[in-house]
């Protein structure tokens, strides 16, 4: 008889992302991103405290002096269970939330203690994210055209049928031009590259590649998800100011190093949970009913290679009896 599998912590983490999404959803489209993010932080932190783990926040809301909760270095979990690193983004896409735009999500990822890349003073990285079909067939050191040709061949497409998501920022201008010159389709986004990165590895989304310079924390979170979804992320730190470059040098961090999936999230036991806040291309946003709300989430576990979508129906009267979170 085979050994019973260990506990799947992703199924506990999703309760935390659901709570954060429900709390933040009250602020969708109201133009107040700080309030929405604050509500999500409160709810996420409360529910993370019930998860059977001894966690340290490696990717959080900022240093202790800047963020009073879920700051880098904060201890989370109920204190028992495995020693883990924790990466959180209570609202990925705060501007999307404030404007009521698609693909704002709440995410949590965990890995064994010491497994997650600590970005330190590195705020930005250049990323290349692909799904399982193109695993091992791309290289961030290759040209944009060569990588797009490799993805197209791996997926049985013409390059003109490949869709690349990239943040619409001046720093990505050259890459955007190179994608267009290669003949691929460009989908520009204003914020939040975790959601489209997930979609590169999920069926039927129409997203094939994520490229360009975005946030370093989002890259680490994406790596945890890619372990479970079978996709790949490669990255290289891309400081955007002399000050950031100097801080990285002082920290002894090599900005020229190519970071692989294993560099960003080492080991073989990673858990990831994401819940939609606003309506998205894959995860549906929070939808209200007469008695509560419905959430839609994605959870992954790398060791089993299993990913699930969870549609949950929440009743305000029951939730308010057992939780301090003001959902309604």
162: CATH? 3.40.190.90
In a domain, 27, yes or no: yes
Co-location of 135 and 196 in the same domain: yes
The pLDDT score that the predictor gives to residue 322 is: 77
- 191 annotated to bind ligand: yes
Q: Are residues 208 and 252 in the same domain?
A: yes
Any known ligand binding at 218? yes
Q: Are residues 109 and 25 in the same domain?
A: yes
Residue 171, annotated ligand binder?
yes
Please indicate if the annotation marks 236 as binding a ligand. no
CA separation for the pair 66, 265 (Å, rounded): 25
242/133 same-domain check:
yes
pLDDT score recorded for residue 67: 57
Whether residue 55 is found in the same domain as residue 78: yes
pLDDT for 6 beyond 80: no
pLDDT tens-digit map of 41-91:
999 999 999 999 999 999 998 654 455 688 889 999 999 889 999 999 999
179 vs 268, which has greater pLDDT?
179
Q: Is 254 annotated as a binding residue?
A: no
* Strand runs labelled E in the chain: 54-59, 75-76, 83-92, 105-112, 124-130, 163-167, 185-189, 209-215, 232-237, 271-276, 287-288, 292-301, 306-315
- The answer to whether residue 325 is domain-embedded is no
For residues 40 and 199, give the distance between their C-alpha atoms in angstroms, rounded to a whole number. Answer: 23
As beta bridge partners, residue 28 has none
Share of the chain above pLDDT 90, in %: 87
| Average pLDDT value for residue range 102-120 | 95
Tally of domains in the chain: 2
Whether residue 233 is predicted with pLDDT greater than 90 in this model: the reply is yes
The average confidence (pLDDT) of the chain is 93
Same domain for 132 and 256, yes or no, is yes
170 is in an annotated binding site: yes
pLDDT at 81: 86
In whole angstroms, what is the distance from residue 304 CA to residue 194 CA? 22
Confidence of residue 319 (pLDDT cuts 50, 70, 90): confident
Please check whether residue 3 lies inside any domain of the structure: no
Output the pLDDT for position 126: 98
Residue 215 assigned as binding residue: yes
Q: Is 126 annotated as contributing to ligand binding?
A: no
Q: What is the pLDDT of residue 64?
A: 46
φ, ψ at 3 (rounded to 5°): -70, 140
Determine if residue 89 is labeled as part of a ligand binding site: yes
Can you give the residue range of the structural domain that contains 27?
A: 9-115+270-320
Task: Say yes or no: 77 and 24 in one domain.
Answer: yes
User: What CA–CA distance (Å, rounded) separates 55 from 250?
Assistant: 28
Do 255 and 131 fall within a single domain?
A: yes
**Would the pLDDT of 246 be above 50?**
yes
206 marked as part of a ligand binding site = no
Contact indicator for 31, 7 with CB cutoff of 8 Å: no
* Distance separating alpha carbons of residues 319 and 328, to the nearest angstrom: 10
Judge whether 61 is annotated as a binding position. Answer: yes
Indicate whether 269 pLDDT > 80: yes
211 falls in which pLDDT band (50, 70, 90)? very high
Domain final position from 264, 283, 301? 264
Q: Is 167 exposed, middle or buried (0-12, 13-18, 19+ CB in 10 A)?
A: buried
**Is 281 within a domain?**
yes
* 16 belongs to a structural domain: yes
- Asked if pLDDT for residue 147 goes beyond 60, the answer is yes
In a domain, 61, yes or no: yes
Is residue 326 in a domain? no
């Amino acid at each position: 008889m085979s050994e019973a599998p260990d506990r799947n912590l992703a199924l506990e983490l999703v309760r935390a992302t659901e709570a954060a999404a429900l709390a933040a959803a009250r602020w969708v489209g109201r133009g107040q991103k700080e309030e929405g993010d604050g509500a999500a932080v409160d709810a996420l932190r409360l529910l993370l405290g019930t998860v059977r783990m001894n966690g340290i926040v490696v990717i959080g809301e900022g240093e202790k002096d800047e963020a009073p909760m879920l700051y880098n270095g904060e201890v989370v979990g109920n204190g028992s269970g495995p020693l883990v690193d924790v990466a959180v983004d209570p609202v990925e896409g705060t501007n999307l939330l404030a404007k009521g735009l698609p693909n704002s999500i709440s995410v949590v990822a965990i890995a064994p203690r010491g497994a997650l890349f600590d970005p330190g003073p590195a705020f930005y990285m250049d990323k290349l994210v692909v799904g399982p079909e193109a695993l091992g067939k791309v290289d961030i050191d290759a040209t944009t055209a060569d990588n797009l040709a490799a993805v197209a061949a791996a997926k049985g497409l013409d390059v003109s049928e490949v869709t690349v998501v990239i943040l619409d920022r001046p720093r990505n201008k050259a890459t955007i031009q190179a994608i267009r010159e290669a003949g691929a389709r460009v989908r520009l986004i204003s914020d939040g590259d975790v959601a489209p990165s997930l979609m590169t590895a999920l069926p039927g989304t129409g997203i094939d590649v994520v490229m360009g310079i975005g946030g370093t924390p989002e890259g680490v979170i994406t790596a945890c998800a890619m372990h479970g979804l079978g996709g790949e992320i490669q990255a290289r730190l891309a400081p955007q100011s002399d000050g950031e470059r100097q801080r990285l040098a002082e920290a002894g961090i090599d900005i020229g190093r190519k970071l692989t999936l294993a560099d960003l999230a080492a080991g073989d036991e990673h858990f990831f949970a994401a819940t939609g806040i606003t309506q998205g291309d894959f995860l549906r946003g929070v939808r209200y009913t007469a008695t509560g709300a419905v959430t839609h989430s994605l959870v992954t576990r790398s060791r089993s290679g299993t990913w699930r979508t969870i549609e949950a129906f929440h009743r305000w009267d029951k939730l308010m009896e057992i939780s301090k979170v003001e959902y309604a």
